[in-house]
Chains A and B, each alone.
Chain A
Amino acid sequence: MASDVRVSVEALQENQVQEVSLDGQETYVQPLSMSENLAKLAHRIDFSQEDSDGEVQLEPGEEEEEEEEERKKQEAHWPWESIRDKLRTSLVETNVLLDVLKIAKDKKYMVLDPVSQEPQPSKPVLQYVAKKESLSGAADILQKGADRLAKSQAEFSSGSRGQGDFHRELLKLRQYWRLRRAGNNILGDLSFKSAGSHYWHSGVFEVVKTTEEGMAPGSSPLEVRIPSDLEGNAYIQVVIEDQLETIIAVKAALLPNSRREAAPGEPPWNVKLEAAQNVLFCKELFAQLAREAVQMKSTIPHLVVGNQITSQIFPGVQLSIALCHNTVEEDSKDDTTSPQRCQHNHVLEHALHQMLREVHRSNLNPAPPHPVTAPFSSSKKRRVAGPQGLDRKQCTQLQETEGLLERLEKQAKHTLLRARILDMIDKLAQEVNDPCLQAHVSSIGTSTESSVRIIITSPGYEQICKTMLHVNIGVEDVKVVSKDGKVITLSYDEHELRDLLLHQACQHQVNTVQSLSKMMGWQILHLSNHVGTGPVEKLGNASGIMMASPKGDRVISVRNSPSLGPLVSVQLTRQKGCETWRSDVIKDTKWDQVGGSFKPVQWDKAKGRNFVNKIELLMGCLT
């Protein structure tokens, strides 16, 4: 019957409220001081209920407060003795417990064994149900995932959209463009660096998968992002025009609808990439031309303003090259453009493109031989300069190279000159009917040289005489080669050629008459291509011929002048039987044929289709 012993030395407890005053103030019960507390507790100990030593029994005991209070008065001589004894016994007991635990831990001498309890009734049914539910949950998740995968697979095989298309498009893209992989992105290169260009622009574009929102029906699953300064369309416009346009600073007008239409079956990204590449090419071309225009020293300096380069090729004619970059995607309907500015000289533009491509190619492929590691080398001419012993003048000629602008100017000059010359020949052929002018333009020529063969014949008498001239049109001059090998160099003024042709036509007439007279048996007394008599001609020289009839009694004299036309006169010798000159001294009849005046023939009223025909008829009737 041991009572529950509580040993506390100090208790921390809240102070109990003794009183709450009317203003809310609480008055606490003052805590007992230590000694008071202790004394109070000591009185409550009931030592009569203590057990005998050696028994370890921890029994929850009940407090018998009433008993304690009765016994308080009985055992009061040392209120702490009972406490001390209790403490001592509990210490002993605790020590014993500690020793037991230590020995049991070793498991050599004592072992703690659980007390077998009754097996509780197992409920496998619950577990089965729980497992089944959880399995079905897992299966659900698996099923959902598999459904998703199967759906995407089905989309791929059906080919409408999805990842497979992206790869197919990527394959196609790779066939047309250079691609490489940089980390997670796919980058491409649309510059001409691999073709030999040294332009600074990197021309890098990025390939991405089209997002779901951006997918419109008919668009591809691949999208291409090009650098912002290469957007839109660009082209180079070359125009040869009169110089009056220079003063008015006309902004180079953009042709509407200049965008290239996509070929059927061509993916949209190809159109975009090609347009960007074209922009890059045009920019490089224009930059090169502008650089040359500034550096080139010529008599009339070039004008480089913004996007336009202007240079004068002939007096009064200018060549203007403009870079037109259309960054706006929609078709710009610009009605205020002057129609003149919308012309393009396609041939010259194409020539520019070709020239730049040529430059690129020569950058990459220098003339052999050179080691693989050296991408540059000197030209063939430079290589043989040493062994051939070229002197200084020739060496400096080696180093002169022409830039793009110079070459283009030459081509433009030639084009313009050619057009003018051919025009002039046409007009002349229309005007001059009598000796017929035929012009045959040669189909073989270069961009800086062409040739025209001009045949002057008299209609109806082509077999008798033909005058042939070969006109070589160069960049700034015109060379005329005649059948006998004479070369005449003329300037770029087409009037000079016109004068020459008129002169040649006039000569031709006389030559035809010469051949005709040979055929008809008339003797040629005098033939000259440049007669010194008569009025001074404005252009060329007059040609003249004098022929005598077979019998000798008639002489026809023809003086053909390029400006005044032909002048034909006939000399009639004395009539037969005229006795004026007969005398004893002069007995020979041939002297009858000397003398006589020349009578001019009214040429307009003479019968005959053309000059030679008229001469023929005249000769016929005088024979």
Chain B
Amino acid sequence: MGVTCVSQWPVPDGKSGQQAVEMLQRRLEATGATKAGSFCVDCETYMSGQSITPSKTAHVMHSTGHPLTCFAIMDSGTCLVADSNFDQLMTKLKGFYAPRKGAKIEVKGPRYEYVDFIVKIGTVTTGPTASSRGILVEVEYTPCVVPNDCWSLLTEFMGTFMGDNKPAIPQVLASKQDGIYSPTDTILQYLEHFNNYRKSTGNK
């Protein structure tokens, strides 16, 4: 599990999300990356029921990059990394945590590998509408686990196919410069983006 950076790719005005994704894909393939399957990251939100007084939210996320794992994040930021059977546990806790309707978000798209890098380009969709809300790009540099050591390399690589739209260092990475990167951090980044999307649609 290497250092990962998840960033939002702004959709140019005249084009649809699909076209933007295709353009990114072409650029990637031009650099020499090879397509290696697809990926999906989804998030379900649970609201606590009546019995718990300050109402708490729990986000349960899955990622194909970690096929046997289930991530559960509370609104305080604590993240639980559990076996994938955790979902069944959540259904047993229906009395306490009920799934919030219409709050399921997922990101899907192709996955590219370029020697040590893994790039995932995903379209964000909410619920059954399948209309794309935005595009998220995840870039992972597998050999390194210390963000400080490889941020510059990551940025440079992102620059090759993202051009000027390469992102700034995410909050999560910035706060963990010399620590060891873990899968939780990737998921937190995704959650942050999901929350942004929710807020933006809420505002609209």
Contact = CB atoms under 8 A, between A and B. Distances in A.
Contact of A391 (B65, B70, B82, B84): B65
A361 interface: no
Interface string A358-390: 000000000000000000000000110111111
A392 B111 CA distance: 12
Nearest to B71: A389
B83 A389 contact: no
A395 interface: yes
A390 B64 contact: no
B81 A389 contact: yes
Contacts of A387: 69, 81-83
A383 B182 CA distance: 19
Contacts of A388: 69, 81
Interface string A386-408: 11111110010000000000000
Contacts of B81: 386-389
B64 A386 contact: no
Interface residues of B, number: 18
B64 A392 contact: yes
A383 B1 CA distance: 18
Interface residues of A, number: 11
B82 to A, nearest CB: 6
Contacts of A383: 83
B64 to A, nearest CB: 7
A391 B183 contact: yes
B117 to A, nearest CB: 14
Contacts of A395: 67-68
A367 to B, nearest CB: 15
Nearest to A396: B67
A387 B80 CA distance: 8
A386 B69 contact: yes
Contact of A389 (B64, B69, B85, B86): B69
B26 interface: no
Contacts of A389: 1, 66, 69, 71, 81, 182-184
A524 B49 CA distance: 83
A382 B84 CA distance: 11
A383 B68 CA distance: 9
A391 B67 CA distance: 7
Contacts of B1: 389, 391
Interface in B41-89: 64-71, 81-86
Taking each of B65, B66, B84, which has the highest tally of chain A beta carbons within 10 Å of its own beta carbon? B66
Contacts of B67: 392, 395
Contacts of B71: 389
Nearest to B67: A395
A77 B94 CA distance: 133
Contacts of B183: 389, 391
Nearest to A398: B68
Contact of A392 (B65, B70, B83): B65
B180 to A, nearest CB: 12
Contacts of A385: 68-69, 83
Contacts of A390: 66, 68-69
Contacts of B84: 386
Nearest to A394: B1
A371 to B, nearest CB: 15
Contacts of B68: 382, 385-386, 390, 395
| Most chain A beta-carbon neighbours within 10 Å: one of B69, B85, B183, B184 | B69
B139 to A, nearest CB: 15
Interface in B174-204: 182-184
A391 to B, nearest CB: 5
Contacts of B85: 386
Contacts of B66: 389-392
B70 A386 contact: yes
Nearest to A384: B83
A391 B37 CA distance: 14
B110 to A, nearest CB: 15
A574 B109 CA distance: 83
A378 to B, nearest CB: 10
A331 B167 CA distance: 83
B63 to A, nearest CB: 9
Contacts of B65: 391-392
B112 to A, nearest CB: 14
A383 B85 CA distance: 11
A481 B71 CA distance: 43
Nearest to B70: A386
A317 B66 CA distance: 43
A383 B83 CA distance: 8
B46 to A, nearest CB: 19
Most chain B CB inside 10 Å of its own CB: which residue of A386, A387, A390, A395: A386
B78 to A, nearest CB: 15
Interface in B134-190: 182-184
A345 B78 CA distance: 58
A385 B85 CA distance: 12
A391 B120 CA distance: 14
Given A383-B83, A390-B66, A392-B65, 17 more contacts: A385-B69, A386-B69, A386-B70, A386-B81, A386-B83, A386-B85, A387-B69, A388-B81, A389-B66, A389-B71, A389-B81, A390-B69, A391-B66, A391-B183, A392-B64, A392-B66, A395-B68
Interface of A: 382-383, 385-392, 395
14 contacts: A385-B83, A386-B68, A386-B70, A386-B85, A386-B86, A387-B81, A387-B82, A388-B69, A389-B66, A390-B69, A391-B66, A391-B183, A392-B64, A392-B65
Interface of B: 1, 64-71, 81-86, 182-184
Closest 6 CB pairs of A and B: A386-B83, A389-B183, A385-B68, A386-B68, A389-B69, A386-B69
